[in-house]
Amino acid sequence: MDFGFDDTQQAVARLAGDVLAGQADPESAWKALAQAGLLALAVPERLGGDGLGPVEVAVLLAETGRVAAPLPVLETLALGVLPLARHGTGDQCERLLDGVVAGNRVLTAGTRGEVTVSGDRVSGTLVGVRYAQRAHRVLVPAGEHVYLVDPADATLTATGTSGGEPECTVTVRGVAAERVDGAAADLRRLALAGACALGGGLVAGALALTAGHVRGREQFGRPLATFQAVAQRIADVYVGVRTLHLATWSACWRLGAGRDADADADADADADLDVAAYWLAQEAPPVMEACHHLHGGLGVDAGYPLHRFSSATKDLVRFVGGVEHRLARLADRIAG
């Protein structure tokens, strides 16, 4: 099985890396992504996009993670554009994706919480909804379908995060919401795939930062990288990074190749996603801890860039439900 990128995916990675490397301010970076056409990746061609799929979006998310850029790429593309492009009607896509290409519209989804539906009315509470304050619509899965909630009709309560990116508890009471038929399961798959791709980029970026540090930092007249204990520790980090990478791209490949067209293929995609999400929740935090440790005293400096990676990783692990939840999902799958 070859998870190497094709020419288009390589071009997306190079362009995203170049754009994000030159932008320090999040607003400028978001506009730069739009100007480079990267926010249009999954938007249908008839609406001015490229009509690409989950793998290309995952490539962009991985590059976003490599620089720990606090941008609503996961929310807008993986949680918003992809589910709508794959399941929405032509009219829904035309109305809801207008403005995404130019970077003027943010979308998000509330995948955790208790929701009930009566007719076209949605009630309930959603927790940990990322970028809800900026979103044009919040996609809410309930049963087999997804409902489109206008944040202006909801009560938004800001909640704290490790990385500082905006997040809310969203409460709705009998709010009228448009329905996207049959999109709920796919939205959950795309949310996990996108989170794992972003997390894979975060740990890869932290590894690159740490490897550069131990190569350049000297102790007793020798680079830290030449010490056996340091080499062994960073090798363990590398194994964790590569395993998350492979688990993530296996899942994204299934979603992007259309392998989820029947029940058996859906089960295969879900199994891959459960493995990738568990690996993110279980192994990404120790990877970050090892990177901080290998930086020595510099690793505890809150102003050092490594803290952006570890803080974003903490939020992402919480987004996928935490290690106990992911382990329980795997256990249930193994138990049949």
Note the pTM of the prediction, 2 decimals.
Answer: 0.94
Number of domains, the chain: 1
Q: What's the pLDDT at 259?
A: 45
For residue 321, what is the domain's CATH number? 1.20.140.10
Residue 243 domain-assigned? yes
Residue at 282: amino acid letter: Q
Residue 177 domain-assigned? no
89-137 pLDDT, tens per residue? 999 999 999 899 999 999 999 999 999 999 989 999 999 999 999 999 9
Residue 227 domain-assigned? yes
- Residue pair 184/145 in contact (Cβ under 8 Å)? The answer is yes
What would the mean pLDDT of 23-27 be, rounded to a whole number? 87
- Residue pair 332/293 in contact (Cβ under 8 Å)? The answer is no
Residue 164 domain-assigned? no
Question: In sequence order, what are the residues at sequence separation of 6 or more whose Cβ sits closer than 8 angstroms to the Cβ of residue 90?
Answer: none
**Which H helix or E strand runs over 300?**
none
User: 48 — alpha (psi -120 to 50), left (phi > 0) or beta?
Assistant: left
Residue 297 domain-assigned? yes
Euclidean distance between CA atoms 68 and 335, whole angstroms: 37
Residue 117 domain-assigned? no
Residue 135 domain-assigned? no
Question: Can you read off the two tokens belonging to residue 212?
Answer: 């550069």
* Confidence band, pLDDT 50/70/90 cuts, at residue 270: confident
Residue whose token pair is 């794992």: 196
Question: Can you read off the two tokens belonging to residue 291?
Answer: 């990177």
Q: Which residues span the domain enclosing 188?
A: 184-335
Nearest CA to 194 among 66, 113, 88, 79?
79
Residue whose token pair is 């690793």: 299
135-148 pLDDT, tens per residue? 999 999 999 999 99
Say which DSSP state 157 is in. E
Residue 34 domain-assigned? no
